[in-house]
Amino acid sequence: MSSTNSVPIDTSRPFQLDRTGLRGRSVRLGPALDEILERHDYPEPVAKALGELVMLAAALAGELKFNGSFSLQVRGEGPVTMMVADCTNAGILRGYAAFGEAVPPQATTIGELCGKGILAVTLDQSAVGGETQQGIVELEGATLTDCMLTYFQRSQQIRTGMRFAVSREGGSWSGGGIVVQALPEIGGKAVLRNDDEDDWRRAMVLLGTVTPEELLGPEPDVDTVLHRLFHEEEVRVYPTLALAHGCRCSAERFAAILRGFSPEEVEEMRQPDRSISATCQFCSRTYRFRAEEVDAIETGVRH
């Protein structure tokens, strides 16, 4: 594989190790991640953890063939009560975290931030008439990457290796990561040829040598890093998927949510002028429904 030093930031680069059949993705995020994290006044440990969750969502969604959204949601009993990151099949990313006032400023582990909790993995294709699939694993390990590895080991039984880095240099957030997996081929046959454990161990040793600086870039280029790591494994890269920040909120979506409440609950939400305002947790945009619009929604609720 030759490197052209031209892979842009905010992309996912699929690759395959031809010698063993292992597959993976290399992801780098810059402006997209910075926009997600800078929309809210997150303490740095919260922003860094949410950045890791966004990186995981972007990297793992890239392997799936779906029409909808792939989401990761953390729910905990600690200072950070919830984190959500999702990625659509078109590469549109968003993320959000909810936290209390007592976030430890020096927190470095997911346990310190979230305490006891769970990580939910959801593939939602309901908008196009498809199924919604979900898996759940307890928060175990120092990082969200550790928790995700536990999910693949216990729930999916897919051998997976991951390295991620998230940093705020020069006032802007960026992230990078590489995922390598032994994924089944069509028909369920294991990818690793001859079930050679040495191949898997060698790939993990090589992955373990990647540095945060290489993951984050912008130099060296993604393809240069992959070639440095896996040239003896005959790495082959595929076209990149562009990634971008975006939100799917709309007045219609919030109106649909209001219709899910009872008339009494709708009345409790009204402001003194009988209007209702709703703010999107992801992008902070506020939607205001005038009194007559709320009346129309209530009429729909009653019927």
Q: Is residue 286 part of a domain?
A: yes
**Residues 96 and 207 grouped into a single domain:** yes
Same domain, 21 and 131: yes
| 262 and 236, same domain (yes or no) | no
One domain for residues 75 and 168? yes
Q: What's the rounded Cα separation, in Å, for the pair 285 and 1?
A: 44
Pair (213, 233) in one structural domain: yes
Q: What pLDDT is attached to residue 4?
A: 45
Domain of residue 34, CATH code: 3.55.30.10
In a domain, 31, yes or no: yes
- 2 and 228 in contact (C-beta within 8 Å)? no
Predicted pLDDT at 302: 47
Q: Are the beta carbons of 258 and 266 closer than 8 angstroms?
A: yes
Is the domain of 184 the same as that of 296?
no
User: What CATH number is given to the structural domain containing 287?
Assistant: 3.90.1280.10
Domain boundary residue among 226, 245, 264?
245
| Claim to verify: residue 174 and residue 287 sit in the same structural domain | no
Single out the residue in 197, 228, 245 at which a domain terminates.
245
* pLDDT the model gives residue 110: 95
Domain count, the chain: 2
Q: Which domain holds residue 223?
A: 11-245
Domain limit, last residue, from 230, 245, 260: 245
Asked if 52 and 110 sit in the same domain, the reply is: yes
Each residue's pLDDT expressed in tens, for the chain with a length of 303 residues: 544 446 789 999 999 999 999 999 999 999 999 999 998 889 999 999 999 999 999 999 977 777 888 999 999 999 999 999 999 989 999 999 999 878 988 898 999 999 999 999 998 887 777 788 899 999 999 999 999 999 998 887 889 999 999 999 888 999 999 999 997 764 444 455 545 788 999 999 999 999 999 999 888 899 999 999 999 999 999 999 999 999 888 888 888 888 888 888 888 889 889 999 888 888 888 888 899 888 887 665 544
Residue 229 and residue 209: Cα distance in Å, rounded? 8
Would residue 5 count as lying in a domain?
no
Same-domain check for residues 271 and 212: no
Q: What is the CB neighbour count within 10 angstroms for residue 195?
A: 9
CA–CA separation, 76 vs 51, rounded Å?
Answer: 17
Q: What is the pTM of this model?
A: 0.86
Query: Do 198 and 157 form a contact (C-beta atoms < 8 A)?
Result: no
